[in-house]
Amino acid sequence: MARTATKVNELPKCWQTVKDALDAGIDRVILYGTAGIGKTYAGLNYGELSGGAHRLICTDEMTNADVTGCWQPTASGSWSWLEGAGIKAWQGNGTVGGRLVIDEIDKAGGDVFATLLAITDTPESAQWEHPQSKQLIKPLEGFSVVMTTNVEEMNELPMALKDRFPVAIRINEPHPDALLRMSEDLREYAKQMCDAGERRISLRSFYAYDKLRKALGAKKSAEIVFGNRAKSFLDAIAVDTVKKVV
Amino acid sequence: MPKTKEDNSGYKVVGVTTPTQVVPDAEMITRDDLEGGRWTIRATGHDEAKSDAGERSMFVPTYDDEHSRHIRAQQMFYAKCSPTEKQWEKVWGKRKYATDRALLACEVLRITHLMSKAGFSPEQHLQRGSELLDGKLMSQHNDFQSVVLNAIATKGTLGYEPFLEGVSQHHPEWIPVLDKLANEATEFYNSVDKHNAKCREEGTEWRIIPEVHATGNKPQHNGFGYTEKLAKWVEQVVGGMTEEGKSNPSIPKPEHAKGEEGDEGKKGKKGKSKEAKALAEMLKSLGEAGKEQRESQQWGRGNIPRKGVKEMWEELRVAKPPLVRSVIGAIGKKRVASATGRNPRRMSRLLTDPERRIFDRTVKGAGGVVLVDTSGSMRLSADQVKEIVLHAPSALVAMYSGGAYKPKPNLWVIANKGRMVEQMPRPNGSNGMDYPALEWAVKQRQRPSSPVIWVSDGGVTGRHDAFHDDLVMECVRLCKKQGVYVVPDPDTAIDLLKRLQRREKVTSIIPETLSQTYKEVTGQELVLR
């Protein structure tokens, strides 16, 4: 099994592209592809991050409060404005703009989506009036956005979003750091199965299987983690290694 | 009372459940020669399973039972180890060490071998279901070649015994031969595993050869090379199997079916001792040949040939110099006396011939093609070649000799249709392209019955004048298949041509190099037309 010994130190092509793009100062990037392979991790860690990184997880139920902020009562009985992740990222550390990581933007509702479009607009067009100070806030130099989504095809995203994010990178391999956490013999399979469409097996399942098999053996662990799929999973390993799985 | 489902049409559906579907995890398969990716997997019947790793598509039964599971495993192994369709077209299909049929059968055995090694039980769960009938029909039609290949393909599976049972209904005497052959074939793959295991045990990893399941990008690093080697051996042992599946004369003739006795039955009895003897000899030679085959491997680097047989030959470049001189002879078109006709040309026959054949009738010559090897080892002078030409008047005579750089020709047509060249071309010196020249000669014959005569000492070589058994065997196979007469020198060639002119029965005088190589490779005597 020559290719099973995954070279974990080598950055796969898709990840290298992400790194190169962010290091080069590209400030609007969409990372799309299957779930659980480290897209958010890259958004929070790659590139210039001296302004800090702020994460926003989109759901149907979320409101603009998460993006721009909301009023909240203070201990003195008055109200103060609590800034949302979008505004925080605009302001960064006060000198340099921060990074806004928007997860699963395709799941955001219409209102939030419109606000996110405004927040992620070009620095020249983007501005927001602070409800408390009435100050006109603009994104600071260095503000960047990394958007992640689990859609498989870019066509599934709205045109307005695609316009704002000219660089879209499909992530089809787990990040090597994530693979390092499991036994070497499973790394290649984990890598392959992350992008197996409807037959996908998540990294988390591999972690669980890897941990369990040390105590319970391959067969029982596979049954616990993969259920009905255990047999075909073990058969595939037996075929690939040309060895009986014990 | 249990409730039953009812659809819109009002029919009650009783006892119908959705079966559990098991889909193979083909994405987990890794190969050295292909990138991973998503697979298209579709459910299909048991006898329609197929896969192509190049297209990443697989058709397999998806039921949750052992039989289906083994078919899935078999297809997974094909996807893991076998050449893709593109690789077949580009590389393996062109190498021509063995016929496609033999390669297919030996590849099935390789897959079965790997399945057993990976802990599957093909001997308990893998069968097509039609093996008994296949064996019965193939033996009934005396198709020994197909029987051998099927025995190899089913060896190690649940279908092997039923297949032999089917064969035994018409040819029980074939069973020991088939069993021996199939065992030797299995042992061939085992020997690769044993060699590598021994190397690991002894700490001599540098001697390790590609594994049976290896998928290296180059043929010499790919496990399919073993399939190719085995297929070649099987064909050589069984003897000149052809793509068309023609029966081989050296294969034992059929025993007459029960119930058809009588006169034929008596003949059958008479022939039976010969058949039994032939089978016994074959059985003996099988064991020896199999052992020799494995021992001769010497399991080292270069064990799987880098190039295909076809690539080992020089390119054929035919020259047709002007044929300016007439050759008068008797083998070609000639006039003979006839009792009917338009112009009476033989009036004297009115008195001398009781049948009064005063007219002429044109009789066409037998034609034929004479191919003369003019390499250095033949030591032919221009006069000797000319002598051959003069004894083959209406035939097409060509001489060949390789070793020249492109675009210099390596085959010259020196005589055709009663005319020949003024001056003999100067040969290049080596052989290099005996097979392409033979193939060309066979294509040139005027009629299917026209004889093809190959004048050669059998010192067959390929590019750079390199000798190889495979090259000799390819020439031998062609000669056997096309009924080429082989003679070693000009004298025997002239003698054969004279006898052909007299319409006498002639046979090849096989050069020693050919017969020796054939004997070494197959363990059998070479018989040519």
Dihedral in degrees, nearest 10, Cα atoms B281, B286, B292, B297: 150
Q: What is the pLDDT of residues B354-385, one digit of tens each?
A: 888 888 877 666 678 999 998 888 888 888 88
CB-closest option in B37, B38, B114 to A242: B114
Q: What are phi and psi of A245, to 5 degrees?
A: -85, 120
pLDDT band of residue A118 (cuts 50, 70, 90) is confident
More confident position, B120 or A155: B120
Q: What is the pLDDT of residues B70-97, one digit of tens each?
A: 999 999 999 999 999 999 988 898 888 8
- For A173, the closest chain B residue by CA position comes to B37
Interface test with B, best of A172, A198, A242 (most B CBs within 10 A): A242
Q: Rounded to a whole number, what is the largest CA-CA distance in chain B? A: 114
Q: Rounded to a whole number, what is the largest CA-CA distance in chain A? A: 71
pLDDT of residue B148: 93
pLDDT of residue B297: 52
Is B40 near chain A, with CB under 8 Å?
A: no
Q: What is the pLDDT of residues B267-282, one digit of tens each?
A: 444 444 555 666 666 6
Least confidently predicted of B62-76, B289-303, B458-472: B289-303
pLDDT of residue B264: 40
**Average pLDDT in the B313-342 region?**
77
Which residue bears the tokens 């939030």?
A112
Closest CA–CA distance from residue B15 to any residue of chain A (Å): 22
CB A87 within 8 A of CB A131: no
More confident position, A74 or B286: A74
CB A245 within 8 A of CB A232: no
Least confidently predicted of A97-101, B37-41, B421-425: B421-425
pLDDT band of residue B134 (cuts 50, 70, 90) is very high
Model confidence, pTM: 0.69
CB B191 within 8 A of CB B160: no
CB-closest option in A197, A233, A239 to B77: A239
Distances (CA, A) of B69 to B25, B65, B213: 12, 6, 20
Q: Do the Cβ atoms of A242 and B117 come within 8 Å?
A: yes
**Average pLDDT in the B500-515 region?**
84
CB B157 within 8 A of CB B123: yes
- Which chain B residues in 15-34 lie under 8 Å from chain A, judged by CB atoms? 20, 22-32
Is B476 near chain A, with CB under 8 Å?
A: no
pLDDT of residue B29: 93
pLDDT at A168 over 70: yes
pLDDT band of residue B243 (cuts 50, 70, 90) is very low
User: How much is the mean pLDDT over chain B?
Assistant: 81
ipTM above 0.90, yes or no: no
The tokens for A83 are 């800034």
Least confidently predicted of A124-133, B33-42, B161-170, B186-195: A124-133
pLDDT band of residue B136 (cuts 50, 70, 90) is very high
CB A23 within 8 A of CB A47: yes
pLDDT band of residue A86 (cuts 50, 70, 90) is very high
* B27 vs A179: CA distance, rounded Å: 17
Side-chain half-sphere exposure of A10, counting CA atoms within 13 A: 5
Burial status of residue B130 (CB atoms within 10 A of its CB: 0-12, 13-18, 19 or more)? middle
The tokens for A48 are 């210039």
CB-closest option in B20, B30, B76 to A1: B30
Is B120 near chain A, with CB under 8 Å?
A: yes
